[in-house]
Structure 1
Amino acid sequence: MNGRQKPVEYFATQIEAEIYQADYNKLHFYRSLPGHQITLAELYHRWLPAHTANTAPSQSTLDSYNNSFKHLSPLQYEPFQSLKYADYQKILDSMRKSGLSYSSLKKVRSLISLLEKYALKIELINKCYAPLLSIGKNKAVRPHHPFSRQKINRLWAHINDPGVDTVLILLYTGMRVGEMLALQKNDVNLRQGYIRITKSKTVSGIRTIPIHHRIYPLIVSRIKSLGPNLVSDSEGRPYDYSRYCQLWRNVMHSIKANSHTTHDCRHTVATLLDNAGANETAKRRILGHAGGDVTERVYTHKGIRQLRKCIELLK
């Protein structure tokens, strides 16, 4: 070989290289590398592909795992077997002191739990600390409140401003913002006048929403825009949640409604439908809430008519 070594494989990160090296050694030499200990980072990168293959999580869930793992970065090169309750709790306590939300702490604890269950499965550990970890009490930072009729009218008055149509789409469908951003144009049936939600954070979220007559022209305009996504920028690029939030803030500033969050749109739809005496079952189906004994059988022609009657109660 003239002293030259032939590369076996190339990797983007050190963690990927270490995993490959460990597996290669086991496959070809039937033993682990001398002194090799699986770190938190290695375990995470082994667990994630297996978990993804088994559960097919949404992109938002994968992003959540990645963000939670970043919070655990001070421990990533520690041998997983050596990590104890105090190590994890210190991370969570630091997050609380930094002012991070209860939800963020809960997601990190959930990731720790998932990693520990995987470590149990591969017989790396025999004890789990996640159930013992404390994340404090959930305190609502700000209660959700519906958009007033005046603010909704202001949105219609600013309909030609960038992004205003997306807020109105949320206010006349009850979609979660993540559901809207995930919509493909082929999820929209203009002829029969409905939107099919195929990606949602819950099973109940997979549903059909009739298109309200007021936003029908907005949907048609979006269908004619560039890109495969229903909601995209002027160049046809889809929005991720972070970039959409900037668009949202611009719209809220233009109608003097800076205190509103995206979830207030769903709260508005629920409140307005309640006030209009909407059928409870139809309202649940539109919002994608679990409850009752409604199944996919509701999507008969009669079911769609009932849902359309419900959505048209929004003025």
Structure 2
Amino acid sequence: MRLPNGYGSVYKLSGKRRKPFIVKKTLGYHVDYDSGKSVRDDMIIGYAETKAEGLQMLANYNNNPYDVKASNMTFKDLYEEWSERAYKTASEATISADKAAFNACEPLHNKTFINLKAKDFQYLFDTTDKNHPTMRKMKILISKMYKYAMKYDYVSKDYSEFIDISEYKDKNPNQYNRQKFTDEEVKTLWEHQDNSICQTVLMLIYSGVRVNELLNLKKENVHLEERYFDVVASKTKSGIRKVPIAEKVFQFYKSRFEDTDSEYLIHRSNGEQYKYDNYYKKHFLPLMEQLGMNHTPHCCRYTCSSMMHKAEIRETIRKKILGHSQDLINKTYTQLDIDEIVSAINLI
């Protein structure tokens, strides 16, 4: 039976194939300027095991045309297309978190995105060995991808909203004690202040910055004379701030500022920047084991907050230093502000 003009075609390809029938649709024509001939622009809708199946695919497409690109797009393809746009304006911390979440979704990478359903995503989360914080980042990433896919009509339904990780809230096999350093532990750190890693821990405790904020800190953003440094990239918008340098740890900043030509304040022996995993696994954890302590770098931030509270520093000042308050976005610091936060940090 001859198909109507413009309807499309189904025909068998040569050779031995699992799906030998190709389903095509002509979208139009263009002129080949080398030959001067008119050339047909065909779109491949798919492949079928039988001609009847191919005709059904063609009929389905003609009844409800869809984006063939989207129909063949894998989870990995969509991530790459989405991230190319999203990462142009995202912070380094956000990009790092999204990349780690994508790697954790590896079982889905080669699956066609529009064919994934709620049960497929739930199975991934039910069988993964990742802890709850990582699972939360995975869910956030999938939600971002669905938002993008719906914006460009690749899908019509967002299955990320049905992912349930509530039962895994206590799933954290690598969990460490997230409590503040005790006064005795801080005293022990000071007793080992000749140790360069001890110094970085004390710098974290007496500034309240996130570990990546310190590892990403460039010397050009450190103002020794004024006793503060600028955090120019952070996990949150309110994290972009000026952080005071406490007098107790000032010498640690000064010695690192002057030690090499590295652009980073905290750097490896060759002058290159520390990556979090390298710093955490090869330096921070061994130090904690050596000193008999059980903490993560985030405990330093918690300790700073606790010490400022104990010193009765006003909440507004604590939020300025820690970068917690949303009303600090785009705030212009005056010299009075800087003097105030420097004076406050010297109370702990």
Picking from 204, 209, 220, the partner of 1:175 is: 209
SS at match of 2:259: coil
CA shift digits 1:41-70 (9 cap, x unpaired)? 1111111101112xx222232222222222
Contact 2:227 2:342 in 1 (8 A): no
Deviation at 1:270, TM superposition (A): 0.9
1:216 aligns with 2:216: no
In structure 1, the residue matched to 2:190 is 156
Give 1:52's aligned residue. Answer: 87
- Could you say which residue in structure 1 is the equivalent of 2:275? 240
* Alpha-carbon distance in structure 2 between the residues aligned to 1:30 and 1:127: 31
Give the match for residue 122 of structure 1. Answer: 152
Distance 1:31 1:81, change over 3 A: farther
Give the corresponding residue for 2:4: none
Corresponding position of 1:193:
227
TM-superposed deviation, 1:311: 0.4
Structure 1 residue 34: Cα displacement: 4.8
* Off by >4 Å, runs of 4+ in structure 1: 27-34, 140-143, 293-298
TM-score under structure 1 normalisation? 0.83
Query: What residue is the counterpart of 2:237 in the other structure?
Result: 203
Question: Relative CO higher for 1 or 2, CA cutoff 8 Å, sep ≥ 6?
Answer: 1
Q: Does 1:104 align with 2:138?
A: no
Q: Deviations over 1:71-129 (max 9, x none)?
A: 2222222221111111111001112xx3x221111111111111111111221111110
Question: Which sections of structure 1, spanning at least 5 residues, go unmatched?
Answer: 1-26
Residue 288 of structure 2 is aligned to residue 252 of structure 1: yes
Change beyond 3 A, Cα 1:295–1:89: closer
The one-character-per-residue Cα deviations of 1:249-298 (angstroms, maximum 9, x if unpaired) are 122123221x111111111111111111111111110011125x556556
User: Hey, what's the Cα distance between the residues in 2 that align with 1:190 and 1:30?
Assistant: 65
Please, what TM-score do these two structures have when normalized by structure 2?
Answer: 0.76
The question of 1:310 aligning with 2:310 is answered no
Say whether 1:231 aligns with 2:261.
Answer: no
Conservation of the 8 A alpha-carbon contact between 2:223 and 2:229: yes
What percentage of residue pairs aligned between the two structures are identical? 30
| Count of matched residue positions in the alignment of Structure 1 and Structure 2 | 281
Instruction: Output aligned runs, 1:268-283, within 5 Å.
Output: 268-283=303-318
For 2:87, give the aligned amino acid. Answer: T
- Structure 2 residue matching 1:299: 3-state secondary structure: coil
Determine which of 151, 154, 166 is the counterpart of 1:136: 166
In structure 2, list runs of 5 or more residues that go unmatched. Answer: 1-29, 33-39, 47-68
Q: Per-residue CA shift, 1:15-49, capped at 9, x if unaligned? A: xxxxxxxxxxxx99866455361111111111110
Report SS of the residue matched to 2:133.
Answer: helix
Report whether the alignment pairs 1:81 with 2:114.
yes
Q: Any conservation in 2 of the 1:183–1:231 contact (CA below 8 Å)?
A: yes
CA distance in 2, matches of 1:273, 1:233: 31
Change (3 A) 1:41 1:32: farther
The one-letter code sitting in structure 1 at the alignment partner of 2:120 is D
Are the aligned partners of 1:281 and 1:294 in contact in 2 as well (CA < 8 Å)?
Answer: no
How far apart in 2 are the matches of 1:296 and 1:173? Answer: 21
Does the 8 Å CA contact 1:175/1:266 hold for their aligned counterparts?
yes
1:17 aligned residue: none
Q: More strand by proportion, 1 or 2?
A: 2
Computed over aligned residues only, the root mean square deviation of the Cα atoms, in angstroms, reads: 2.1
CA–CA distance in structure 2, aligned partners of residues 59 and 32 of structure 1: 39
Q: Quick check: 2:237–2:329 contact (8 Å CA) kept in 1?
A: no
* Partner SS state of residue 239, structure 2: coil
Aligned residue identity for 1:248: F
Query: Which secondary structure does the structure 2 equivalent of 1:204 belong to?
Result: helix
Distance 2:331 2:149 in 1: 41
The structure having more radius of gyration, on CA atoms, is 2
Change in 2 beyond 3 A, CA 1:79/1:296: closer
Match of 1:263 in 2: 298
2 CA distance for matches of 1:124 and 1:296?
36
